[in-house]
Chain A
Amino acid sequence: MKGKPFTHLEKLEKSGQASLLPERIKISVGFASCGLAAGAQTVLDAFIKGIKKRKMDVQVQKAGCNGMCHQEPLVDVWIPGKVRLTYGKVTHDEVQAILAAIKLDTIPEGALLQTSLDPSADEPCCENVPDSKSHAFYCKQHRVALRNCGIIDPENIDEYVALGGYEGLATALSEKTSMQVINEVKKAGLRGRGGGGFSTGLKWKTCRKARGKQKYIICNADEGDPGAYMDRSILEGDPHAVIEGMLIAGYAVGASQGVIYVRDEYPLAIQRLEIAIEKARENGIIGDSVLKSDFSFDIRISRGAGAFVCGEETALIQSVEGECGEPQQRPPYPAVQGLYGCPTIINNVETLANVPALVKNGAKLFSAVGTETSKGTKVFSLVGKVNNVGLVEVPMGISLREIIFDIGGGIPGDKAFKAVQTGGPSGGCIPESLIDMPVDYDKLAETGSIMGSGGLIVMDEKTCMVDVALYFLRFLEDESCGKCTPCRVGVRRMREILEDICEGRGTIKDLALLEKLAGTIKDSALCGLGRTAPNPVLSTLKYFKDEYLAHIKDKKCPAGVCRELVKYSIDKKACIGCGACLKACPSAAVSGEKKKAHKINLKKCIKCGACSEICPVGAVLT
């Protein structure tokens, strides 16, 4: 290492190494929101209690999420000099088994998912258990933004430094001018990961050139797209990566103030960020003279208050200033005139998490993966009707099929794949005929959808595409700020038409009217929210018109979702007469003797779906 900024990090690095790879066995429990929802606290408590009872010398700590959300609660067992073993769906009994095996100096098997080889170990310790390079969930992944998630303790800055953290910042401060940093980011081809896909380097350059006494860096952590949670996971699992990204951005454009605008729905992310900011300040990484250089930068958190439109950058600025989050006319763009009228950079969490790795390793390595126009990797939240639900980071250009079927393990319960929704409420639904195309910003746009922030919601034959379009319109109508008429009135009118269709009052003329309205809104709404609001309707109309026609002409919902159009019944042959539906039915509409086929009285049925949810053999039909 060389230069003043580096020597400052050396001490942190040493203690980080000791805590990351201690000389005794270490157990880390995945402690992100998804892990907590699955019972991580109980698992952690059980480990602490079990270790105390057995008088063992084992270190226990919290970590973020490694992306295998379908296996939560997740536990890693680190054996010094050997391997890191990852266990999934860990129960209280599993905890006891793991501890008992460790005590006997053996490898606990049970729910072992994969092993990660320590570079110093000679060979894998367990047969039949894949290592992280050959594991189906991981082998096609390439982790840059998620590089530390699930590995380090997010509340320990030393561990971040031990894995090369703040080295990108130190490199920038000691070896590069601000313009060189911007050129590096431009050369790497990094594009905004929050939705727009605008060139990050170009944005920074505009802001650097803009005049202003004060400049600001805002981290947009208002992750509003329903179904996308990579930003939450990065903030909860590796908050320093985002802070370092902001510092580098600040140095590049000449800003000394940073604001992280976080969703109110993410209390754990806020808590981890607060700790990270405090630790960084204590260690001279933020504040005056960052890493003893001439550069000063401070960061504060601004908590959102629940408004989807605040993900739009001009609305976000209004909200940081304490006003109603109404979008403003652009230009002027925030890079020239933003927060409090000063030049402001607004970058998304994932974009900023990419920056330290990019600066540390260089543009060449960053852009070695990806496609011609979309460089690097993208994190997707793979959710919905898919087996391996989780966060995956893949090189741009991989196909949707590989993500859904190879990494995601396909559709549960032998159901047929129908579509994948990308880009949140501004995106669209992509049918099976198109899922072999390579995924990047431009290819997704060609299908009528967008990359957006990276939510991939997988839908199967039991998902109604008209209902999905209605869902997004309801969402957007509720979230429209009401400032411009096309969005305020147009989206509402589209929602009313779709409601008619879903409830059996639709006519064939409605489809043309929907398309006409969509065109008008696209052309005339003030901000991105309004201009993209028709996308979910247009893309479902384009690829799933037959479903619209079934609702309108036959008054039927082929997927059996739209309440007004479905009738529940029980398949006599499949029913095993277990009585679960009878017990679950809130309106006493189910009757039947034990071990004999049950029946639904349609006069009493309120179509709540409780029977269908609980039936162990899928005998309830709609």
Chain B
Amino acid sequence: MKLPRKNKVKQIVQKHKEEKGTLITLLQDIQSEFGYLPKEVLSHASEELEIPLSKIFAVASFYHSFSLDPQGKNTVSVCTGTACHVKNADNLTQSVSRELGIEAGEGTSADGEFTLKKVRCLGCCSMAPVVKINDDIHGGMTQVKTGNLLQQYRKDNK
């Protein structure tokens, strides 16, 4: 592990020890710092806090919001709530996965620009179907509208 990264991990672990947080809050802090849960960071935290790595892995893999793989620069989340489902969110997800070249319907594009996720209800059912790109929620989406929006993000990234 590189030094700056190691220091960051130390800080998080230290904070966690002092505040007596739970394992979930520790993992949330690590993920917000690194964007995902890197294995080496988890190993280090496991040693420092004397929590078996197997237990950390159990919690990390139980909850949907944790990711054990590096994430793309942008995260595209297609809502799969019931209101979105009856308004064809399924077709929308497939269209986004075609657009981004992410075959499995979820995962990260080869160029590392986009991560596609199917997410649980975002609670914006009135705007269904809904797509969230990074922190911004876009309502009333169609396949064409979403395609144009992704093109815009591509352009802005360059």
Residues of A within 8 A of B (CB): 33-34, 36-38, 69-70, 72, 223-229, 232-233, 264-267, 302-308, 319-325, 381, 383-385, 389-390, 421, 424, 455, 457, 459, 463, 468, 471, 475, 481, 583-584, 586, 608-610, 613-614
Contacts and interface: CB of A to CB of B under 8 A. Distances in A.
A37 B128 contact: no
B83 interface: yes
Interface centre among A69, A308, A322 (most CB of B within 10 A): A322
Contacts of B94: 608
5 contacts: A37-B137, A227-B121, A265-B119, A385-B87, A610-B91
A305 B123 contact: no
Interface in B117-158: 119-128, 130, 135, 137-139, 142-144
Given A37-B124, A70-B126, A226-B80, A385 B86 contact: yes
A4 to B, nearest CB: 34
A599 B65 CA distance: 44
A302 to B, nearest CB: 8
Interface of B: 21-25, 27-28, 58-59, 62-66, 80-83, 85-88, 91, 94-95, 98, 119-128, 130, 135, 137-139, 142-144
Q: 7 shortest A-B CB distances, which residue pairs?
A: A322-B22, A69-B126, A306-B64, A305-B63, A226-B81, A229-B123, A306-B65
Given A37-B127, A38-B127, A265-B121, A226 B62 contact: no
Given A229-B124, A384-B83, A303 B25 contact: yes
A156 B67 CA distance: 36
A307 B64 contact: yes
B24 A226 contact: no
B130 A457 contact: no
B130 to A, nearest CB: 7
A33 B137 contact: yes
Nearest to B77: A265
A608 B59 contact: no
A324 B95 CA distance: 34
Contact of A383 (B23, B65, B125): B125
B62 A325 contact: yes
B28 to A, nearest CB: 6
Nearest to A385: B86
Given A305-B64, A306-B120, A307-B63, A389 B126 contact: yes
B125 A229 contact: yes
B101 to A, nearest CB: 13
Contacts of A385: 86-87
Contacts of B83: 226-227, 383-384, 457
B99 to A, nearest CB: 8
Contacts of A37: 124, 127, 130, 137-139
B28 A303 contact: yes
A381 B62 contact: no
Nearest to A229: B123
Nearest to A458: B86
A455 B82 contact: yes
A308 B126 CA distance: 21
Contacts of B58: 324
Most buried by A among B87, B127, B138: B127
B104 to A, nearest CB: 15
Which of A72, A307, A324 has the most CB atoms of chain B within a 10 A radius of its CB? A324
B151 to A, nearest CB: 14
Given A37-B124, A38-B139, A463-B86, A322 B23 contact: yes
A267 B124 CA distance: 13
Given A38-B127, A384-B83, A584 B122 contact: no
A421 B83 CA distance: 10
Contacts of B80: 226, 475
Contacts of A303: 24-25, 28
B126 A390 contact: yes
Given A322-B25, A608-B143, 13 more contacts: A33-B122, A37-B137, A37-B138, A226-B80, A228-B125, A232-B123, A233-B123, A306-B66, A323-B23, A383-B82, A457-B82, A583-B144, A610-B144
B145 to A, nearest CB: 9
A265 B25 CA distance: 15
Contacts of A225: 121
Nearest to A611: B143
Given A305-B64, A384-B82, A421-B82, A229 B121 contact: yes
Nearest to B91: A609
A267 B28 CA distance: 13
B24 A305 contact: yes
A319 B62 CA distance: 11
Nearest to A478: B64
Residue from A228, A305, A324, A608 having most chain B Cβ neighbours under 10 A: A305
Contacts of B81: 226-227
Contacts of B59: 322-324
A307 B91 CA distance: 24
A586 B95 contact: yes
B150 to A, nearest CB: 13
Most chain A Cβ neighbours within 10 Å, of B27, B28, B63, B87:
B63
A304 B22 CA distance: 12
A608 B121 contact: no
A546 to B, nearest CB: 19
Given A457-B82, A463-B86, A610 B23 contact: no
A36 B126 CA distance: 12
A554 B87 CA distance: 25
B143 A305 contact: no
Contacts of A302: 22
Contacts of B142: 610, 613-614
A220 B83 CA distance: 22
A325 B137 CA distance: 28
Contact of A264 (B65, B121, B125, B137): B65
B143 to A, nearest CB: 4
Given A38-B127, A229-B124, A384 B86 contact: yes
